[in-house]
């Protein structure tokens, strides 16, 4: 089993690196990578902007969580407990949404609602150029709303098992004991679901404060910042060398914020499990008949779909089809052409190849590390198991910006021996490591469902542990591995944060290409490429869903 333990050790090393790089950076003197100084901490402690940045970050987290939960809870309830007719369609829509990159949604909304030239503002004849704009997307509440809406599918998939598995007999026991329905809901259902629901909320708080897509593309009209934006600016928009020291300290602040949340998350999950084991055999409650509320549920789902999928996609299509940025009008319709798709395509060659490289690389790295980690955590009695388990749980608290920074620092540190800095390889290592934690959780739960006797039966039949691993454990894990591979491929293709920080323009990816084109005002091509990307990723997601029952089977719970 040397290979498996070896992979585990390397994976743990890289996970540790994704945090420690930032810690090392935070003690570095200005303009250097190594060194030991508290200057960075002193400077930032004295910086008057810091409390404002922190407050905004927390606002962003709480605001987003509010939107996610407000939309996802009713949707999960509709899917889990009612006779809603369009469940299959809604599941497919949720899976498809999972595949659409957040930054593309953000881009479409900037085009629609930016104060100076937003298409909607132009259409209404109320832009900031004429006076007061009708809409101004550069606001905190807009970012919370959009981030929140985009994160709904993942949250629904996480909430669904808890809502579905709620033992019907517990409710029925109260009903037959003469407790009225509203009381049953308040005193039985709510307390039983509370830990699971809160756990999801805390999890999404972490995602919300580390999510870069919306903050990067939309930003704040008043020039305010949140932690991720500050870190990005310290590294990329310095006008000079990256300030690893500053980024490191802000990274530490963000990490502390997230680690606090993750500890709460782990506790809540434990509570949720404690409730989950109470009943012996559980029974599903008969689905609630929606009756005349069916129309309300349908419009609810349709509104969500229009806001997060239809509207952005239509906007992208419109921007691609029209030669310059303009609201719909008779002239605009007359000028429609497919030229945008052709232009967009001409940019794609190198970035598409790089993105494919990242996808294949990240899948390979993440899957081989995760399967090793999973085996060690669920099957071995090695002392490594404890560390691996802790790493898998805590690693999500390391925000993408933080781990990207760490890998950059690492790349510079080893540059004289191994010039990986700025190459696709370092990005693959970082992306793969980032995805390990995501994969391991999916695989751990699959491995826990597999009876350990299956391998033991191999050992006592004379198979070496590695033969049993290769011929019994891995083949039986194949559905989970395959599913995780598709998800990693999808998530790494659409990620913007990591390539923005690590690529430095030298290794363009499809995501950074779209970002650059949009920044340079080449909306037409940016929109076309975004559409190409959406088509490919949605096809991938629907394929994954077809094969593995994404969402419905309780898989894909961590999808963002």
Partner 1 sequence: MIAVDNVHVTFRLQGADITALDGVSLSIEPGQVFVLLGPSGCGKTTLLRCLAGLETPASGKISIDGQSMSDAAAQIFVPPHQRPLAMVFQSYAMWPHMNVFENIAFPLRAGSHKIPAGEIERRVDETLALLEISALKNRPVTTLSGGQQQRVSLARALALRPRVLLMDEPLSNLDHQLQIQLRSQLRALMRRLKLTTVHVTHNQEEALELGDRIAVLNHGKVVQIADGPTLFTEPANSFVARFLGDMNLFAGAIVGSGLVQATVETRAGRLEARRGAATDLGAGAWCYFGIRPNDVRLNATEPGNTVTAMVTARRYLGATVLHTLEAGPLQFQAATHPAQSIEVGQRTRAHFPIERSVVVPAADEKPYEDD
Q: How many residues bind partner 1 (CB under 8 A)?
A: 18
Q: How far is CA 370 from each of CA 265, 333, 411, 486, rounded to the nearest angstrom? A: 22, 51, 23, 14
Alpha carbon distance 497, 512 (integer Å): 9
> Which residue from 38, 314, 451, 547 is in contact with partner 1, where contact means CB under 8 A?
451
* Contacting partner 1 within 32-91 (CB under 8 A): none
Please tell me whether residue 72 adopts helix, strand or coil conformation. Answer: helix
Choices 172-180, 349-357, 452-460, 482-490 (CB under 8 A): range interacting with partner 1: 452-460
Q: What is the DSSP letter of 220?
A: -
Tokens of 512: 């950074």
In angstroms, how far is CA 525 from the centroid of its own chain? Answer: 25
Q: Which is nearer to partner 1, 165 or 382 (CB)?
A: 382
Residue 465 binds to partner 1 (criterion: CB under 8 A)? yes
Triad 196, 202, 208: Cα angle to 5°: 135
Q: Which is nearer to partner 1, 464 or 520 (CB)?
A: 464
Choices 202-210, 322-330, 432-440, 453-461 (CB under 8 A): range interacting with partner 1: 453-461
Alpha carbon distance 522, 222 (integer Å): 25
> Which residue from 223, 417, 461, 521 is in contact with partner 1, where contact means CB under 8 A?
461
Triad 499, 502, 506: Cα angle to 5°: 85
Triad 41, 46, 48: Cα angle to 5°: 125
> Which residue from 456, 506, 535, 546 is in contact with partner 1, where contact means CB under 8 A?
456
> Which residue from 45, 278, 314, 467 is in contact with partner 1, where contact means CB under 8 A?
467
Give me the least distance between CB of 487 and partner 1, in Å please: 23
Tokens of 173: 């026991």
Residue 472 binds to partner 1 (criterion: CB under 8 A)? yes
Q: Compute and round to an integer the Cα radius of gyration of the chain.
A: 24
Counts of helices then strands in the chain (DSSP H, E): 26, 0
Q: How far is CA 361 from each of CA 151, 433, 549, rounded to the nearest angstrom? A: 26, 11, 25
Choices 103-111, 292-300, 472-480, 536-544 (CB under 8 A): range interacting with partner 1: 472-480
Give me the least distance between CB of 220 and partner 1, in Å please: 48
Q: Which is nearer to partner 1, 460 or 535 (CB)?
A: 460
Q: Are 382 and 416 in contact, with CB atoms under 8 Å apart?
A: no
> Which residue from 299, 335, 464, 519 is in contact with partner 1, where contact means CB under 8 A?
464
Residue 327 binds to partner 1 (criterion: CB under 8 A)? no
Residue 448 binds to partner 1 (criterion: CB under 8 A)? no
Give me the least distance between CB of 9 and partner 1, in Å please: 21
Give me the least distance between CB of 472 and partner 1, in Å please: 6
Q: Which is nearer to partner 1, 331 or 453 (CB)?
A: 453
Give me the least distance between CB of 464 and partner 1, in Å please: 5
Tokens of 98: 């999972």
Q: How far is CA 21 from each of CA 263, 287, 479, rounded to the nearest angstrom? A: 22, 51, 35
Give me the least distance between CB of 412 and partner 1, in Å please: 44
Alpha carbon distance 127, 523 (integer Å): 19
Give me the least distance between CB of 369 and partner 1, in Å please: 24
Residue 462 binds to partner 1 (criterion: CB under 8 A)? yes
Q: Which is nearer to partner 1, 190 or 478 (CB)?
A: 478
In sequence order, the 6+-apart residues with CB closer than 8 A to the CB of 85 are 294, 298
Residue 463 binds to partner 1 (criterion: CB under 8 A)? yes
Residue 453 binds to partner 1 (criterion: CB under 8 A)? yes
Residue 527 binds to partner 1 (criterion: CB under 8 A)? no
Residue 385 binds to partner 1 (criterion: CB under 8 A)? no
Q: What is the 3-state secondary structure of 384-406?
A: HHHHHHHHHHHHHHCCHHHHHHH
Triad 301, 302, 305: Cα angle to 5°: 90
Tokens of 424: 């696709």
Residue 454 binds to partner 1 (criterion: CB under 8 A)? yes
Distance in angstroms between the alpha carbons of the first and the last residue of the chain: 34
> Which residue from 43, 49, 283, 471 is in contact with partner 1, where contact means CB under 8 A?
471
Residues linked to residue 288 through DSSP beta bridges, in sequence order: 82
Residue with structure tokens 């981030």? 147
Q: Which is nearer to partner 1, 263 or 476 (CB)?
A: 476
> Which residue from 460, 535, 547, 553 is in contact with partner 1, where contact means CB under 8 A?
460
Q: Which is nearer to partner 1, 11 or 481 (CB)?
A: 481
Q: Which is nearer to partner 1, 464 or 519 (CB)?
A: 464
* Contacting partner 1 within 475-494 (CB under 8 A): 475-476
Tokens of 303: 């509104």
Q: Which is nearer to partner 1, 49 or 471 (CB)?
A: 471
Choices 19-27, 35-43, 322-330, 457-465 (CB under 8 A): range interacting with partner 1: 457-465
Q: What is the 3-state secondary structure of 351-374?
A: HHHHHHHHHHHHHHHHHHHHHHHH
Q: Which is nearer to partner 1, 273 or 283 (CB)?
A: 273
Give me the least distance between CB of 477 and partner 1, in Å please: 10
Give me the least distance between CB of 196 and partner 1, in Å please: 22
Residue with structure tokens 């809409």? 135
Choices 51-59, 296-304, 446-454, 517-525 (CB under 8 A): range interacting with partner 1: 446-454
Q: Are 361 and 435 in contact, with CB atoms under 8 Å apart?
A: no
Give me the least distance between CB of 375 and partner 1, in Å please: 16
Burial 204-235 (b: 16+ CB within 10 A, else e): bbbbbbbbbbbbbbbbbeeebbbbbbbbbebb
Give me the least distance between CB of 478 and partner 1, in Å please: 8
Interface residue list for partner 1 (CB under 8 A): 451, 453-454, 456-465, 467, 471-472, 475-476
């Amino acid at each position: 089993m040397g290979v498996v333990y070896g992979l585990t050790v390397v994976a743990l090393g890289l996970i540790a690196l994704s945090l420690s790089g930032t810690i090392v950076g935070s003690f570095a003197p200005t303009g250097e990578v190594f060194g030991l100084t508290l200057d960075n901490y002193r400077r930032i402690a004295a910086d008057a902007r810091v409390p404002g940045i922190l407050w905004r970050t927390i606002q962003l987290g709480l605001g987003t969580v509010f939107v996610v939960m407000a939309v996802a809870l009713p949707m999960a309830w509709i899917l889990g407990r009612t006779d809603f007719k369009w469940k299959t369609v809604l599941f497919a829509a949720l899976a498809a949404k999972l595949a659409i990159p957040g930054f593309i949604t953000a881009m479409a909304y900037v085009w629609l609602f930016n104060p100076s030239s937003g298409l909607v503002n132009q259409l209404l004849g109320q832009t900031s150029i004429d006076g007061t704009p009708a809409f101004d997307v550069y606001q905190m509440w807009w970012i919370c709303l959009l981030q929140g809406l985009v994160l709904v599918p993942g949250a629904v998939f996480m909430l669904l098992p808890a809502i579905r598995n709620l033992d019907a007999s517990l409710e029925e026991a109260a009903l037959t004991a003469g407790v009225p329905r509203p009381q049953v809901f308040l005193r039985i259902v709510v307390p039983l679901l509370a830990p699971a629901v809160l756990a999801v909320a805390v999890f999404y708080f972490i995602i919300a404060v580390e999510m870069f897509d919306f903050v990067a593309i939309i930003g704040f009209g008043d020039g305010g910042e949140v932690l991720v934006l500050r870190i990005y600016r310290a590294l990329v928009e310095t006008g000079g060398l990256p300030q690893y020291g500053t980024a490191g300290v802000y990274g530490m602040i963000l990490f502390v914020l997230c680690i606090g949340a993750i500890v709460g998350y782990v506790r809540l999950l434990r509570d949720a499990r404690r409730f989950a084991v109470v009943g012996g055999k559980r029974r599903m409650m008969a689905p609630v008949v929606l009756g005349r509320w069916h129309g309300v549920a349908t419009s609810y789902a349709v509104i969500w779909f229009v806001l997060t999928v239809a509207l952005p996609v239509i906007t992208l299509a419109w921007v691609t089809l029209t030669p310059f940025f303009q609201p719909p009008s008779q002239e605009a319709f007359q000028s429609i052409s497919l030229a945008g798709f052709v232009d967009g395509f001409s940019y794609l060659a190198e970035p598409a190849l790089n993105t494919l490289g990242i996808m294949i690389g990240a899948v390979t790295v993440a899957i081989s590390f995760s399967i090793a980690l999973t085996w060690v955590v669920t099957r071995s009695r090695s002392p490594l198991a404890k560390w691996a388990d802790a790493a898998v749980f805590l690693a999500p608290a390391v925000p993408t910006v933080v781990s990207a920074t760490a890998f950059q620092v690492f790349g510079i540190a080893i540059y004289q021996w191994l010039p990986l800095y700025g190459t696709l390889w370092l990005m693959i290592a970082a992306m793969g490591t980032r995805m390990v934690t995501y994969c391991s959780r999916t695989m751990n739960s699959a491995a826990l469902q597999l009876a350990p006797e299956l391998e033991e039966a191999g050992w006592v039949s004379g198979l070496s542990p590695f033969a049993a691993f290769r011929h019994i454990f891995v083949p039986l894990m194949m559905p989970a591995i395959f599913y995780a591979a598709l998800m990693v491929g999808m998530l790494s293709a659409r990620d913007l944060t990591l390539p923005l920080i690590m690529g430095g323009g030298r290794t363009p990816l499809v995501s950074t290409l779209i970002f650059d084109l949009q920044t340079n005002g080449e909306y037409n091509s940016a929109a076309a490429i975004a559409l190409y990307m959406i088509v490919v990723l949605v096809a991938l997601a629907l394929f994954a869903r077809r094969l593995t029952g994404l969402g419905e089977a309780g898989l894909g719970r961590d999808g963002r």
